[in-house]
Homo-oligomer: A and B are copies of this chain.
């Protein structure tokens, strides 16, 4: 049983959100500094690290997508975040977390740059562009997590599902009123929204009847209609 996705930070395929700096790649900075780093490839479903593993490296997604989930004592699972190209994850070890707080799993074929935490810390001092990118990522990540918290606190599961669908829709084709979502099961949606599958099923059918979404396998979202749900 899964519970809740804290936030979606998987980005659309444009790295050009900063105007300049569109082709930022930490690897070149690590190369010039002669830093220990390696590139790892994962297949769909493969685990990058598991909850409880020793933590001494920071990951940087070059290609693909990764979900980060936490399991509690009762076996419930919550999808805490999803990461895409140019996202860092596993950076908690830099603040002294000795073990991984959750499990990172590739959801598509994924290429990851693995950096030893102490060396990354050191390089951040000398490589301003890397440092800027890292800080910017951290700030954005913070904002995202806090937004998810606010969503969780203020809104019902119906609204949270609507919001989650709209967030997922960002990764479909851009600038179209109707977006096709990446393939996700209702079970996964439940873990993203923070509710049960039966609840997700109920609302999905409700949204469908109202014409806010349609699906036969691929989920299609009518953004403007679904947005109405968010405003009561």
Contacts and interface: CB of A to CB of B under 8 A. Distances in A.
Interface in A135-171: 135-136, 138-143, 145-146, 148-150, 152-154
A128 interface: yes
Contacts of A72: 150, 154
Contact of A78 (B4, B131, B132, B153): B153
Nearest to A92: B143
A91 interface: yes
Interface string A73-107: 10010101000000000011011010001000000
Interface in A16-30: none
Interface residues of A, number: 40
A48 interface: no
A6 B143 contact: no
A194 interface: yes
A5 to B, nearest CB: 10
A70 interface: yes
A154 B91 contact: no
A3 interface: yes
A125 interface: yes
Contacts of A152: 149, 152-153
Contacts of A154: 3, 72, 76, 78
A56 B138 CA distance: 18
9 contacts: A4-B149, A72-B150, A92-B143, A95-B136, A95-B142, A95-B143, A141-B142, A152-B153, A153-B194
Given A95-B139, A141-B142, 8 more contacts: A80-B149, A92-B142, A95-B140, A95-B142, A124-B131, A125-B128, A134-B135, A135-B135
